[in-house]
Amino acid sequence: GGILLGPSALGRSSRFLETVFPKQSLTVLDTLANVGLLFFLFLVGLELDLRALRRTGRQALAIALAGISLPFALGIGTSFVLRATISQGVREGPFLVFMGVALSITAFPVLARILAELKLLTTDLGRMAMSAAAVNDIAAWILLALAIALSGSGSPLVSLWVLLSAAAFVALVALAVRPVLAWMARRSPDGEPVKETYICATLAAVLAAGFATDTIGIHALFGAFVVGVVIPKDGPFAAVLTEKVEDLISGLLLPLYFASSGLKTNVATIRGGQSWGLLVLVIATACLGKVGGTVLVSLALKVPAHEAVTLGFLMNTKGLVELIVLNIGKDRKVLNDETFAILVLMALFTTFITTPLVTAVYKPARRAASGRKHHRTVQRCNEDADGAELRVLACFHGSRNIPAIINLVESSRGMRRRGLTVYAMHLMELSERSSAISMVHKARRNGLPFWNKRRSDEGGDQLVVAFQAYGQLSNVSVRPMTAISDLHTIHEDVVTSAQQKRAALIVLPFHKLQRLDGAMETLGGDYQHVNQRVLRHAPCSVAVLVDRGLGGAAQVSASEVSCTVAVLFFGGCDDREALSYGARMAEHPGIALTVVRFIPPPGRSNLLEDGSNGSVGIGVDADDQAADEAFLAEFRAKPAAAANESIKYEEVAVGSRAEIVAAVKAVRRFNLFVVGQSPACMSLTERSDTPELGPVGSYLASSEFSTTASVVVIKQYDPTAAAAAAAETSTAVEDVADQYDVPDTPVATDRSRH
């Protein structure tokens, strides 16, 4: 956008420039742009943890060094060609270093955004790319500091003095400023607001550090970056600073910097075959050095060839950081207009080609089918004679979903010999305005190796700590996960994770939440569409949880859950799955289960809507009827059901919609209703905007049914329906099934695993 506004396009009209960007406004524009850049570098430093960098794996370190050294050397070689042609007269030393840095740098924030959009941020490949990019970033800034020092004066002694002064500044910040910032962080405990005084003092320190490094002769950006690096990452202090600054910077000030850079870029200076040939040379050199160096070292480290090539393309990402380097070089008179334009186009080209190239190259082979049994329904898990473990993928959007999810999980434990594994997946939206810094901050809970996660494992993340406490108090293996994607494709993360984790049940939160006054407020139609897409493509059974206070506002002890559950059984596979889930819940000592079966009145074996008398009711085919009878007979014959006084079975004859509604209202005293999504009965409400809940679930979740009970609506996995859904979408979900893996971090009683 900035290039289009500048002299390359619209700015070719002097009238346009004088009207939109008069000369007296450019100073203000540059000032605001540089302030935004200053705080952006502060945010970048805020997300880097030097302690974690020291623990970076050897693979990532070797890849980072190769991704710096080879393009840096080729950049120096290219600089000799440029100095002999279009950059005659520039000082050799600074120009060589600037060209080396320009070709070897990897844009850390831009790479994070690309990885998030490609669903690679939480994969092994994404973590390796981000680790290598973090090391690359640190090395590039050190080399840039050297280039700036060399460009400041013609005297080697002055350059040496600038470098020594910069080292002294870093030592001063580490020894004097960091303890003060650590004191502020300690006085900002979890659960309490951070004092505005601390925030203002920190932001003032950023400006002061920028002024100090600018006075030294490096650049104001380095001071802000150093302050961001030394801020303790423990507790909420760093996160609050990010929240306070990020929106203003990414939403207003950084776009001004892009506009300012575009106004300085004049593509028209690239004239003639020689200049365009040099542009091709620079692009080829940048790609060859970065991709080639990364691929060669990756192959030497036994990385698969397709992953090595993908890693090379990812490490070749330029962007904002590249523009920063080029603008500094232009301001220091190291780069002339033509060289600057060539390098800007190189940065844009390498960034634009990254996503399509990675999409084309990175097609990993599918995993071989596991030899272990994989039950895709709760009913099959219950029928397993060996006591199969139930694997549940429990999804949530935020902290308001946590109490109900935990209590539902606790209620699902069943007998101790069976076992239960819960994958708690936090669904995070990747919106258009989400910045890269925000994305990588959210992904930190996935264990990305270059951030400090020690504190979050000890309780810094309030969402993780709830599951951590539950895992420590129960005999349940809980593994937190995070999915970062836009709401139109986040169902792919859920579906793929359920496949990879061999889940038998996916639990989704309803798109409406209960307010304090009891009314339901919607999160938005997009969240409802997420649930509908998961229901359509799920590789296992799916449960939608309508929470009306299940578990209350506080964490409930794992051994003291007390809940009355009603399963409304009309007939069909979904109702059989609902009863299977209810039967498992009944194994918990704190659960009282009541099964209410709705049957046609005497004389009718299969009642459907009849326009003559207005009757409406139950309709199942002969096969389903036989399956229902066999399933119910087996359920009632089980010793646990026969001897357990907490399990009750009732049958209610209904012949019309009114009778069904009256029968349902008669059992509203329960804490939780479990129903199938598609029981064979007609709609119980005049109008429903929640087809994903089915006729009974929609009524139980509507305002027409006055109750405080929560509702679980279950849809049993149907291989035939799943195949049809896959055919309708041209296997859109299948194609991404193994292109990414959402790692899980076990949260158990053993802290040493973190």
Domain match, 688 and 723 both: no
Point out the domain boundary residue: 361, 388, 406.
361
Domain match, 150 and 262 both: yes
Compute and round to an integer the Cα radius of gyration of the chain: 31
Q: Whole-number mean pLDDT of the chain?
A: 79
Parent domain of 115: 29-361
Structural domain count of the chain: 3
Domain match, 218 and 308 both: yes
Q: Is the pLDDT score of 460 beyond 80?
A: no
Is residue 368 domain-resident? no
pLDDT digits (tens, 9 = 90+) for 593-642: 899 998 887 766 555 544 444 445 555 667 778 888 888 888 888 765 55
The two three-digit tokens of residue 558, written as one number: 């794992």
Look at 23-37, 298-312, 517-531, 607-621 and tell me which has the smallest mean pLDDT: 607-621
pTM: 0.73
Alpha carbons 39 and 44: distance in angstroms, whole number: 9
Is residue 553 domain-resident? no
Q: What is the pLDDT of residue 435?
A: 56
Is residue 457 domain-resident? yes
- Element spanning 637, H or E: helix 622-637
Point out the domain boundary residue: 361, 386, 403.
361
Is residue 11 domain-resident? no
With bands split at pLDDT 50, 70 and 90, how would you rate the model's confidence at 673?
A: very high
DSSP structure class, residue 426: E
Q: Is the pLDDT score of 741 beyond 60?
A: no
Q: Burial of 368 by CB count in 10 Å (0-12 exposed, 13-18 middle, 19+ buried)? A: exposed
Domain match, 606 and 658 both: yes
Domain match, 531 and 585 both: no
Percent of the chain scoring above 70 in pLDDT: 80
With bands split at pLDDT 50, 70 and 90, how would you rate the model's confidence at 295?
A: very high
Domain match, 330 and 419 both: no
More confident residue, 270 or 498: 498
- 698: domain CATH number is 3.40.50.620
Alpha carbons 115 and 485: distance in angstroms, whole number: 10
Q: Is the pLDDT score of 50 beyond 90?
A: no
Q: What is the pLDDT of residue 73?
A: 92
Domain match, 445 and 332 both: no
Point out the domain boundary residue: 336, 361, 386.
361
Domain match, 528 and 646 both: no
With bands split at pLDDT 50, 70 and 90, how would you rate the model's confidence at 366?
A: very low
Sheet holding 647-653, edge to edge: 477-485, 420-429, 390-396, 505-509, 541-546, 710-715, 672-676, 563-569, 591-599, 647-653
Burial 422-454 (b: 16+ CB within 10 A, else e): bbbbbbbbbeeebbbbbbbbbbbbbbbbbbbbe
Domain match, 535 and 636 both: no
Q: Is the pLDDT score of 738 beyond 60?
A: no
Is residue 627 domain-resident? yes
* Torsion 325-327-331-335 (CA) sign: positive
The two three-digit tokens of residue 277, written as one number: 């040939």
Domain match, 185 and 277 both: yes
Is residue 423 domain-resident? yes
Domain match, 653 and 627 both: yes
Is residue 640 domain-resident? yes
Q: What is the pLDDT of residue 679?
A: 66
Is residue 267 domain-resident? yes
With bands split at pLDDT 50, 70 and 90, how would you rate the model's confidence at 412?
A: confident
Average pLDDT rounded to a whole number, residues 661-680: 83
Domain match, 752 and 709 both: no
CB 672 within 8 Å of CB 709: yes
